[in-house]
Amino acid sequence: MRVMKFGGTSVGNAERIKGVCKIIEDSLPSKPIVVVSAITGVTNALITLANETSAAKRFRMFNEIRATHTKILEELRLDPRLFNAELTLLTTAAKKQRKCSKKVLDQFVSFGERFSASIVAATLQKRGIDAKAFMASEIGMITDEHFGSAEPLPTSLNLIKRKVGALTVVPVITGYIGKTKKGEMTTLGRGGSDYTAAIIGAA
């Protein structure tokens, strides 16, 4: 197996995503495990959205985030409904948002990686590659409750090894984020996507 990590710049636009998918395709014999960051600039935009107190400004910021991803979907000729469910969840969160705790912020910023993983997996599928997007928690990234700077639990390594080892698809995994035992979203802190890839590699 080969763990491949792609940062925000690498998935920053449609052409770069095509390039990433070509690299992954060329690496199929080594059984790639793909970890992706959010599209460049999106995490910062989500942080701004989470901290914004003006409903009008939140609405504008949400539309900018949506437009960034919609443009990439159009250029890659992917289904425009690819992550409608996530956009609905983000819309609901933005409407309800009043006070931004670390716990709330982790929920907001998780959407960046969720969007990018979906796009990369869908692009690979369009190239005829059996790929699937996964939340890191789905492959065993279970963390403590230190929101904003969570650490994986000691049991995560064996869980990741077992779950990833059982996959028959090319996994495209969200970097940066995990979940607690209670199912609450956490992040590993800035630079956490690199950390995610390192943890998976160690596992």
Q: Which residues, 6 or more positions from 33, have their beta carbon under 8 angstroms from its beta carbon?
A: 1, 2, 3, 4, 164, 170, 171, 173, 200
DSSP 149: S
pLDDT in tens for each of the 203 residues of the chain? 999 999 999 999 999 999 999 999 999 999 999 999 999 999 999 999 998 888 888 889 999 999 999 999 999 999 999 999 999 999 888 887 667 899 999 999 999 999 999 999 999 999 999 999 999 999 999 999 999 999 999 999 999 999 999 999 999 999 999 999 999 999 998 789 999 999 999 99
**pTM > 0.75:** yes
Q: Which of 172, 146, 181 is nearest to 33 (CA)?
A: 172
